[in-house]
Amino acid sequence: MLYPMSETKLTFSIDEGAHLLSVAIAGTFGKEQMDALTAWTKEVEAAVSKACDKDGQRLNSMVDLTGLESYTSAAALGEMGNLMRENARYIRKTATYGANDLLLAAEEIAALIAHRENFKAFKTKDEALAWIAE
């Protein structure tokens, strides 16, 4: 039986004063969303690079996954890993929050793909903010 996929949502903003990249990812990501996902990751990469090149300081990254349902394509998960790898030199720490247990495992895979050691997943936003502030 086919189940309709929820609407996907990809947003980001950069608070240059706080040196904070805020990202929200929601929905289900599969082959059908790859073009949009790839275009979005390129936009994030360019914005992060531009922000960091202005003052030479790295950003912290907060990623809201409360609305993320699943990755149904290894390519989609790989694209997120690529984003993490490409931005590694610009990011001080990345904290995610709100993912379910299955997605927590997928996050760990993406972090491994990206060779990121400054990455940690949390259940709540408050836990993530506390770690970012350390």
pLDDT digits (tens, 9 = 90+) for 29-73: 888 889 999 999 999 999 999 999 998 999 999 999 999 988 888
pLDDT of residue 4: 44
> In terms of pLDDT, which residue wins out, 65 or 6?
65
Structural domain contains residue 4: no
Which of 66, 58, 64 is CA-nearest to residue 100?
66
CATH of the domain at 89: 3.30.750.24
Structural domain contains residue 91: yes
Q: Tell me: the pLDDT tens digits for 84-100?
A: 888 989 999 999 999 98
Domain boundaries, position 69: 9-133
Structural domain contains residue 30: yes
Structural domain contains residue 92: yes
Structural domain contains residue 1: no
> In terms of pLDDT, which residue wins out, 28 or 21?
21
> How far apart are the C-alpha atoms of 77 and 37, rounded to whole Å?
10
Structural domain contains residue 55: yes
Count of structural domains, the chain: 1
Structural domain contains residue 2: no
In order, the DSSP letters of 24-71 are EEEEEESGGGHHHHHHHHHHHHHHHHHHHHHHSPPEEEEEE-TTEEEE
- For residue 130, pLDDT over 80 is answered with yes
pLDDT band at 5 (very low <50, low <70, confident <90, very high): very low
Which of 50, 131, 51 is CA-nearest to residue 93?
131
> How far apart are the C-alpha atoms of 81 and 53, rounded to whole Å?
22
Look over the chain and give the mean of its residue pLDDT values, rounded to a whole number: 88
> How far apart are the C-alpha atoms of 6 and 21, rounded to whole Å?
25
- For residue 115, pLDDT over 80 is answered with no
> Does this model's pTM top 0.75?
yes
Structural domain contains residue 96: yes
Query: Computed over its alpha carbons, how large is the radius of gyration of the chain?
Result: 14
